Structure 1
Amino acid sequence: MISIRICGAAVRVHFSFLVFNALIFLMRSSGLVLSFYAVCLLHEAGHLTALRHTGGSISTVDVSGAGIVIGTQKGGRVTDKSRLYVLLAGPAANILLYVLLSICGYHGSFAQLNLIAAVYNMLPYRSLDGGAIISLLSLGTVRERAVMHILTAVKLFMIVLSAAAVYYCGREAFPLLAAAIALFTGDITRSP
């Protein structure tokens, strides 16, 4: 792991991020890879803009093969409403750019990647915005345990669907299966 400090925040780049990058560069064209990183930067900029807007500040940034996790400073008055706003801001930035590009008549890979990033990040995994939102909304409620059981079933179903896609579509669909398994495993290790 590489660790540096930028503007007071500890930025840690994990080995899995480097492996993930190597795999992407092996499997895709450089233009598509650069578009992917631009989409990711836009997504994170949405989160950071909302975080600054709510008065929050960054303590850590972890970059790994599973994505980017931004840790915030403890202290101050952080409400569930402001957390929800920050979590929704990343996918909202991607959707907004997709809509703007579509209005301008551009429907290429960059526009599509923005839409895919928004949808992907709303999947119900704790390491993604969608799972964090579900956890935020269900935490401490009487239905918290039931929600988590339903989400586990949904995640297992997504692994089965991804495996079926690999079986029927071939190795091009393998990244879907790898992502579904990695996200599921990550959620198991993050469980309280």
Structure 2
Amino acid sequence: MFRINVGGVQLGISFSFPAVLALVLLTGCDSRSMLTALICCFLHECGHLLFMIIFGNRPQAVTLYGGGIRITPQAGRIDSLGKDLTVLLAGCGMNFLLALTGLVLDGMSLFVQINLLLGAFNLLPFRHFDGGRALELLTDGRGLRAVRCTFILLTAMLIVLMGINGSISISLLMTFVFALAAEFAEG
């Protein structure tokens, strides 16, 4: 892990980040699509950061890792449930806003498609995704295991169907394995 301190915020990059990028590129993803996806991920995280700053809570750390970008807030709640939910959902909101803007200006471009996918994907109720964290805040963790297990089974079925059709996505498969490992490791 490489880390530097910039203005009191730890910026880091894990070995897993370039390793996953290399693996995805080696499996046939073109560099234009990869760059567009990275820009969309960066803008997603800017949505979170914008509302953290608006609510007066600077991040403690920002880390690039194999699962994407992790923003570690300073300990504790920002101020209220509403503000915490706003910060959690601001990334997806940014993706949907960018997708709508791109759709109006340029039609169904790659940028629009990736933003829609990224926004929807991050709303899934898995532990490390925005939707999972928001759902945990809203329900105080009650009933989440059943919801998460249902989504794990549905995602597994989707991956099997994609495999049968010959259109398996290595990045979807890798993300699913990560989410599955995280659910069982922490659950």
**TM-score w.r.t. length of structure 1:** 0.88
Q: Give the corresponding residue for 1:34.
A: 35
Alpha-carbon offset, residue 126 of structure 1: 1.3
Q: Which residue of 1 aligns with 2:9?
A: 9
1:180 to 173, 176, 180: 176
Residue 24 (str. 1) matches residue 24 (str. 2): yes
Secondary structure of 1:169's aligned partner: coil
Name 2:163's counterpart in structure 1: 166
Structure 2 gap ranges (5+): none
Residues 159 and 181, structure 1, Cα contact 8 Å, conserved in 2? no
Whole-Å Cα distance in 2 between the matches of residues 166 and 76 of structure 1? 42
- After superposition, the CA RMSD in angstroms is 1.9
After superposition, residues 102-113 of structure 1 pair within 5 angstroms as: 102-113=103-114
Q: Could you say what secondary structure the match of 2:10 adopts?
A: strand
Query: How many residues of Structure 1 are paired with residues of Structure 2 in the alignment?
Result: 186
User: Percent identity among equivalent residues?
Assistant: 28
Seen in structure 2, the aligned counterparts of structure 1 residues 119 and 61 have a Cα distance that, compared at 3 Å, is same
2:25 aligned partner, one-letter code:
F
1:148 to 145, 150, 155: 145
Distance 1:77-1:167 versus aligned 2 partners, 3 A rule: closer
TM-score, normalising length: structure 2: 0.90
Residue ranges of structure 1 left out of the alignment (5+ in a row): none
Q: What's the CA shift for 1:75?
A: 6.3
User: Does the CA-based 8 Å contact 2:52-2:58 persist in structure 1?
Assistant: yes
